[in-house]
Amino acid sequence: MKAMLYEIFLHMKLNVRSKELLVHYYIVPFIFYVLMSSVFTSIMPDAHLTLIQSMTVFSVTMGGVMGSPYPLIEFYGSEIKKAYHVGNIPLWTLAAGNFLSSLVHIFAMSLVIFFTAPIFFDAVVPKNLVEYFLMLLLVIVVSLCVGLVFGLYTKSSSKVGMATQLVFMPSMIMSGIMFPVTLLPDSLQTIGKVLPATWGFEAMCRENLQFGSYYPLLIIMAITLVLSLWKLRKISID
C-alpha cells in the first residue's frame, strides 16, 4: 500500500512536469473555460444554468481521453517496463498509478471550474451537491477508462493524438455541452449516445439522480476495463 501511494505521488509529480499533460489537464481546459464561458453567457441567456456542467465535461474529456494515454505509451514502450520485470513489480501498477494521479489532476481542475464559475460568470450551482460530485467522479473514471484503452493499444504518441480525436471531437459536438442536442439530426443524436460525455453531461444536469441516466456510463466503463485488463495481461506475459 505504501509503495502504491508513493507511485501515485511520483506519477503526479511527473504529470506536472510534463508539458504535454500540463496542457491537457490544466492549460487548455482553463483557457477554454474562460473564453467560452464569456461567449456563452453573452449570447445565450440560459447558458449560466448548465455552465459548470458543460465546462467540467469538456475539462474531464480533454484530460481523461486525450491527456491520460501519453504516460502509458511512454511507460510501456520504454525500458521502464523491463525495470519493473526485474524488480518483480506487477506491470498493472504503472497503469493504476497513472489512472489515480490523473483522476486527482482532473478533479482539481473540475473544482476550479465549480468554485470560480458562480463568481465570474454567474453560473448556477447544482442543487444536489452530493449527487453532482458522485456523477463527476463517475464521468472522470469512465473517461480515464477510455483513455486507458487508447494508451495501451496505441504504440506512439503521434498516433494516440489522432486516435483520441475520434472520441474527443464528437464529444464536443454531440454531447450537448456546446449547444442543445435537439439541434442535431436524429442520426447524430444516436451516435452521440455512445459517448461518455453525452451521458455524463445529462446526468450532471439532472436534479435527481436516476439509474437510466448513468447506467450507460457503467456499461462503457465495464467494456473498456475488460479490454484494458486483457491488454495488460498480454503485456505482462510478453
27-44 residue pLDDT tens: 999 999 999 999 999 998
pLDDT of residue 231: 94
Q: What is the average pLDDT score of the chain? A: 89
For 16-47, the DSSP string reads HH-HHHHIIIIIHHHHHHHHHHHHHHHH-TTG
Across the range 92-101, mean pLDDT stands at: 87
Residue 66 — very low, low, confident or very high, per pLDDT cuts 50/70/90? very high
51 residue type, one letter: L
106 residue type, one letter: I
- Contact indicator for 15, 101 with CB cutoff of 8 Å: yes
Across the range 6-17, mean pLDDT stands at: 63
In the chain, where the domains are located: 2-237
| pLDDT(122) > 70 | yes
What tens digit of pLDDT does each residue of 166-193 get? 999 999 999 999 988 989 999 999 999 9
pLDDT of residue 6: 60
Positive or negative: CA dihedral 228, 231, 237, 238 = negative
pLDDT of residue 10: 63
pLDDT of residue 236: 78
From residue 195, give the alpha-carbon distance in Å to each of 44, 164, 234: 25, 12, 27
